[in-house]
Structure formats: structure tokens, C-alpha cells
């Protein structure tokens, strides 16, 4: 059902945790399935220098959270905003159709964290 890459990110998630003094925090959830993701970002000179996540959900939710943190780390804010839901799923070598909403949550949580960061800058 899941690719080896999904299982790896589920079994050994990267960047798990919380950033106490995060520059941006974004939370997204899906009331239908109960998945809830929070992404924390630290930004210096418009570059994401640290990123962590906390996720309550299934294997796909944890794997997509882990993957999006790896994809966004070291990128500029503008580059991170261009990461799509499909990019996350493709990096994980696919997700079952019934689990594609998890990649949506991960991308949306990252965007929410960036929006929070931008609000705090003004």
C-alpha cells in the first residue's frame, strides 16, 4: 500500500518537534480523518534555517509532514511557497489515492507557517 520512502519517513520521521521561538507557525487539520499537523519555521534573511513538525495522524500524515520539512529546509520563503501537494506525494514515490489529502495538509501547514511569519514581519 505504501512506498518504501513513505514507510521510512513514517518509521524515522525527520525534524520532529517544536521550535520554541518560531518565526512562523502553521496548523492544518482534516476533521473527517482527524489528522492534525503543525509546522514551525525559523527564518533568517528570508531562508528557512530550521523547521520542525508535530503531527497527530496516520502513517501518510506523518510521512508527508516529515518530507515537506526536508523539502523546505534551506529554501527561501518564495521557493518554499512553490512546493505543491503533488511535489510532496511525488517525493514520497506516491501515495494511495485515499491518502492524497495528507500531502494537501502538509503543503497547507507550510503555507500557513509562512503566512504567520509574514504577518509578524509587518
For the annotated catalytic residues, the residue numbers are 33, 102
Strand partners, 105: none
Cα torsion 116, 82, 5, 98: sign: positive
- Give, to the nearest 10 degrees, the angle between helix 59-72 and helix 4-11: 90
Amino acid at each position: 500500500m505504501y512506498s518504501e520512502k513513505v514507510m521510512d519517513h513514517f518509521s524515522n520521521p525527520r525534524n520532529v518537534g517544536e521550535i520554541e521561538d518560531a518565526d512562523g507557525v502553521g496548523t492544518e487539520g482534516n476533521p473527517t480523518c482527524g489528522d492534525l499537523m503543525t509546522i514551525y519555521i525559523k527564518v533568517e534573511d528570508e531562508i528557512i534555517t530550521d523547521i520542525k513538525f508535530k503531527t497527530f495522524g496516520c502513517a501518510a500524515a506523518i510521512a508527508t509532514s516529515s518530507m515537506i520539512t526536508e523539502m523546505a529546509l534551506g529554501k527561501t520563503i518564495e521557493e518554499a511557497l512553490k512546493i505543491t501537494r503533488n511535489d510532496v506525494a511525488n517525493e514520497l514515490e506516491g501515495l494511495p489515492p485515499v491518502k492524497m489529502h495528507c500531502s494537501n495538509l502538509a503543503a497547507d501547514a507550510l503555507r500557513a507557517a509562512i503566512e504567520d511569519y509574514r504577518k509578524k514581519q509587518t
